[in-house]
Structure 1
Amino acid sequence: MGQLFGASGGQFDPAQFARMDPEQLARLSGLGIDPATLSQVMQNLQSAFRGAGAGGGIDWDVTRRQALHLANQDGLSVTSGQRADLDQAFHLADLWLSEATTISDLAGTPHAITRGEWVEKTLPVWQELSEPVATSMADAFTESLSQQVPEDMQGLVANAGQMMRQVAGSMFATQLGHVVGKLSLEVVSGGDVGIPLLPAGEAAILPQNFADLGHGLEIPDDQLALYVAARELAHARLFRHAKWLRLHVLSQVTEYARGVHIDTERLEEMASRIDPSDLDELRRALESGELLPQQTEAQQLALARLENMLALIEGWVDVVTADATSRIPQLDRIAEAIRRRRAVGGPAEDALGALVGLKLRPRRLREAAAMWRAVTEAVGISARDALWDSPDFVPESEDIDDPTRLIARLEATARGEAPQRDEMDDALERLLSEASDPDAAPDASSADSSADSPDGEAPEGPDGEAPEGPKPV
């Protein structure tokens, strides 16, 4: 921090920090962020050094201002023509979607929104997902500080800990605003990221980014709008129907994020050689997740569960959208363009990778879509969609790899047959049987019959001799 803010002799000088040029700090973002915005961030940091904001919480308003600055830099709004075209696409796509799924339509009306509106609507979820990492970064700052000062200064460090947590929180809030603001320039719809960012039951398309999506594809805008609208509606319908799904997905992300710890050794090593006039190395480390150490076993398990669930969601949306938009002449070209966009690293991978070091594998999505297609052809739309009624019914990772057993079970249920028994069923039946039938277990009252003998002697056998057995203790 001393090197970064122009201190000398290893001592931090708030006055020197106040004189720092905001354009120097702008190199952290790599996007040429307005120095006026960074000047405000620096003022927040100065307040932290002066001991302001004793509450110690992260100032999420910094994130909001940074994200909105990037989202609104073009100053574009939704025109009446764009709104009318998308309203028409939503209406027709909704009718087609009702033929491809039994999940009911939305209660609200889908609409077109600006990039700034997308930031405002999704920022609460981003804050929830990233707060564990922000806490880890603040802990790393205070831990590193306490380890480097002499024992006779530990009291001073304890007083400075709150200040350092505020500094780290301000840095992370700025980074989060940069990620969300950059993402607002790319996402096409509310469900484009994969995780449920919009409020439940809400569907929306960003006309500014939709126009960029169609560049170079040589596909009529009305056909592309129908496909994107159908995908967005399918995504919103699913999360509205399966009310447990939103909390399930978000909890998986936060469970992974809680295991994130900043690599303090790497941070200290970088700080020892960083050049305040060239902050590209620090920027790359923050954006690439280089400061995040190797995943723990718990994180790997959480990541596997999250990958499978997101693959199931997106695979179902792909199949339903393809069936609903089968009338579109250039459907294959549109679907392939969307798949390629996702394969090269979609908005979700970029955002989650920058925030929590989370990388998702798109190949699981293709396998999940193949599973949903096989289930649809085998048992029909209604039985397929009923799998979302409860988390107990949702296919597992093994079903994605080989849907044969899942299909066989669904077909047996459709015929009215009892489900095929497995080891779990047998073990459960034995437990219930033993609990309901005491005679099935050994009778403790007859195990030691000598206790019932009036004289305390062991009963005689058929030939008058005592039966063999363990001697009483």
Structure 2
Amino acid sequence: AVADAVRLAETWLDRVTDVPAATTSSVAWSRAEWVEATGTSWRRLVEPIADNVVGAIAQAIPDEARAMAGPLIGMLNQAGSAMFSQQIGQGLAGLATEVLSSTDIGLPMGPSRVAAVLPHNVEAFGEGLEHSSADVLLYVTLRECAHHRLFAHAPWLEQALVGAVDEFGAGTHIDVEAIEAQVREIDPSRPEAIAEAMQGGLFEPRRTPGQQHAVERLETLLAFVEGWVDEVVSQAARDMPSAPALAEAIRRRRATGGPAEQTFASLVGLELRPRRLRDAANLWAAVRDRQGPAARDAAWTHPDLMPTAADLDDPLGFASGETVDDDFDAALDELLAGESGEGTQDRDDEPGTGDAR
């Protein structure tokens, strides 16, 4: 069923975009297979954050706590790493019960050029939507294939997303004052006291301005990715009666996030969620209406051609090419032309210029 859905999805997508198909095979994953197949990608995303969290903990422990903990301080890093790893594993196990495909979080987490869908989760997602299971599977597959096309079409995109995650991890900071306040309440005679404090959020990272910038950059990129996929899939499935309702269900799901996604976000402090998905979809639709599908897709060929977060507030302006910078340039040209005209007039008034005039 997944193989049939992929073939049909690619045919439909070919009608609405010149971005070529990027999948060469298809597979139906179980939840366990999703964890195994995406493990390498998750490690690439999570390890920088984990390393920086543990490192920040070691650097932020006050001298008072070091003296009080004594030999236990050497065990702290090991305990922190083990606890963090265990929590990440639990978070991924929870996500495995919700993800629908290999690109469901907005990044290509599975093998390259493999369209992968989790039928069991797709069936669970479709419950209560009052649409056939075949329609739900096809719509999810359309999104999976569209994601693969986009990431193959824009080779810079994946690294830009991963780079934002790395930037977030590198900015990890531990609130030393908060630690000092709580450490005073730890009973040094109880070795398990530090572990209990860690579980209670003693060493929870505080988001820094640098991390906030990374999060905003990540959310904006994810919004443009998901918005483009929404736009292209809506065009491909426009003759599918259930498509609008399924699109809305997907948007609500991505906007709110499920319990497992929220759990993972609380563990690493990072939400892989496009907050302005609708605005981004409207922007790409406006570009298609004003300039055609080719212009919508060409913006992905280089990051300098991409819209910015500010363009989400004025999608029609971006679609028409009438940005604030363009208005500024036009006003500057007009001003310079006026000054040039005044200079010409002054020269015309000089003696001996009558014939030239």
Short-chain TM bin: 0.7 to 0.9
What are the within-5 Å matches in structure 2 for residues 362-377 of structure 1? 362-377=274-289
Q: CA deviation at 1:229?
A: 0.5
TM-score, normalised via structure 1 length:
0.61
Are residue 330 (structure 1) and residue 242 (structure 2) matched?
A: yes
**Structure 2 counterpart of 1:98, from 7, 11, 14:** 14
Are residue 187 (structure 1) and residue 103 (structure 2) matched?
A: no
Q: Which residue of 1 aligns with 2:65?
A: 148
In structure 2, do the counterparts of structure 1 residues 138 and 146 end up closer, same or farther at CA, with 3 Å as the change threshold?
Answer: farther
TM-score, normalised via structure 2 length:
0.80
Q: Distance in 1 between matches of 2:301 and 2:282?
A: 21
**Structure 1 counterpart of 2:79, from 154, 167, 179:** 167
Q: Which residue of 2 aligns with 1:299?
A: 211
The letter for the 2-side match of 1:385 is D
The letter for the 2-side match of 1:244 is W
Asked which structure has the greater CA Rg, the reply is 1
**Structure 1 counterpart of 2:25, from 91, 104, 109:** 109
Q: Distance in 1 between matches of 2:56 and 2:111?
A: 33
In structure 2, do the counterparts of structure 1 residues 409 and 347 end up closer, same or farther at CA, with 3 Å as the change threshold?
Answer: farther
Q: CA deviation at 1:238?
A: 0.6
The letter for the 2-side match of 1:261 is H
Identical residues among aligned pairs (%): 39
Structure 2: give runs of 5+ residues left out of the alignment.
Answer: 334-357
Q: Distance in 2 between matches of 1:402 and 1:141?
A: 43
In structure 2, do the counterparts of structure 1 residues 333 and 322 end up closer, same or farther at CA, with 3 Å as the change threshold?
Answer: same
Q: Distance in 2 between matches of 1:364 and 1:205?
A: 25
- The more displaced of 110-119 and 94-103 is 110-119
What are the within-5 Å matches in structure 2 for residues 1-40 of structure 1? none
The answer (yes or no) to whether the contact 2:94–2:260 under 8 Å persists in 1 is no
Q: CA deviation at 1:422?
A: 5.7
Q: Which residue of 2 aligns with 1:391?
A: 303
Q: Which residue of 1 aligns with 2:231?
A: 319
Q: CA deviation at 1:145?
A: 7.3
In structure 2, do the counterparts of structure 1 residues 300 and 199 end up closer, same or farther at CA, with 3 Å as the change threshold?
Answer: same
Q: Distance in 2 between matches of 1:281 and 1:320?
A: 49
What are the within-5 Å matches in structure 2 for residues 19-418 of structure 1? 85-143=1-59, 144=61, 147-150=64-67, 163-263=75-175, 266=178, 272=185, 285=201, 291-293=204-206, 295-346=207-258, 350=262, 353-359=265-271, 362-409=274-321
Q: Distance in 2 between matches of 1:115 and 1:360?
A: 20
Partner of 1:100, secondary structure, is coil
Q: CA deviation at 1:140?
A: 4.7
Q: Distance in 2 between matches of 1:243 and 1:281?
A: 44
The letter for the 1-side match of 2:301 is D
Q: CA deviation at 1:336?
A: 1.7
The letter for the 1-side match of 2:2 is L
Q: Distance in 2 between matches of 1:166 and 1:240?
A: 40
Q: Deviation per CA, 1:348-393, whole angstroms, max 9, x where unpaired?
A: 9526522331246654111111111111111111111011111111
The answer (yes or no) to whether the contact 2:20–2:149 under 8 Å persists in 1 is yes
Partner of 2:270, secondary structure, is coil
Partner of 1:392, secondary structure, is helix
Q: CA deviation at 1:139?
A: 2.8
The answer (yes or no) to whether the contact 1:193–1:347 under 8 Å persists in 2 is no
Q: CA deviation at 1:147?
A: 4.0
Q: Distance in 2 between matches of 1:348 and 1:181?
A: 8
Which one scores higher on RCO, CA 8 angstroms, separation ≥ 6?
A: 2
The answer (yes or no) to whether the contact 1:201–1:239 under 8 Å persists in 2 is no
In structure 2, do the counterparts of structure 1 residues 119 and 265 end up closer, same or farther at CA, with 3 Å as the change threshold?
Answer: farther
In structure 2, do the counterparts of structure 1 residues 280 and 92 end up closer, same or farther at CA, with 3 Å as the change threshold?
Answer: farther
Partner of 1:204, secondary structure, is strand
Partner of 1:125, secondary structure, is helix
Q: Which residue of 2 aligns with 1:29?
A: none
The answer (yes or no) to whether the contact 1:133–1:261 under 8 Å persists in 2 is no
The answer (yes or no) to whether the contact 1:190–1:198 under 8 Å persists in 2 is yes
In structure 2, do the counterparts of structure 1 residues 354 and 196 end up closer, same or farther at CA, with 3 Å as the change threshold?
Answer: farther
Q: Distance in 2 between matches of 1:131 and 1:265?
A: 26
The letter for the 2-side match of 1:237 is R
Q: Distance in 2 between matches of 1:228 and 1:284?
A: 39
Q: CA deviation at 1:161?
A: 6.0
Structure 1: give runs of 5+ residues left out of the alignment.
Answer: 1-84, 411-418, 428-473
In structure 2, do the counterparts of structure 1 residues 360 and 133 end up closer, same or farther at CA, with 3 Å as the change threshold?
Answer: closer
RMSD of equivalent CA atoms: 3.3
Q: CA deviation at 1:282?
A: 6.1
Q: Distance in 2 between matches of 1:193 and 1:93?
A: 19
Q: Distance in 2 between matches of 1:149 and 1:165?
A: 13
- Greater helix content: 2
In structure 2, do the counterparts of structure 1 residues 89 and 319 end up closer, same or farther at CA, with 3 Å as the change threshold?
Answer: same
Q: Distance in 1 between matches of 2:268 and 2:239?
A: 41
Partner of 1:142, secondary structure, is helix
Q: Distance in 2 between matches of 1:103 and 1:190?
A: 20
Q: Deviation per CA, 1:279-317, whole angstroms, max 9, x where unpaired?
A: 99965749xxx8222x22212222221111110000000
Q: CA deviation at 1:165?
A: 2.2
The answer (yes or no) to whether the contact 2:222–2:274 under 8 Å persists in 1 is no
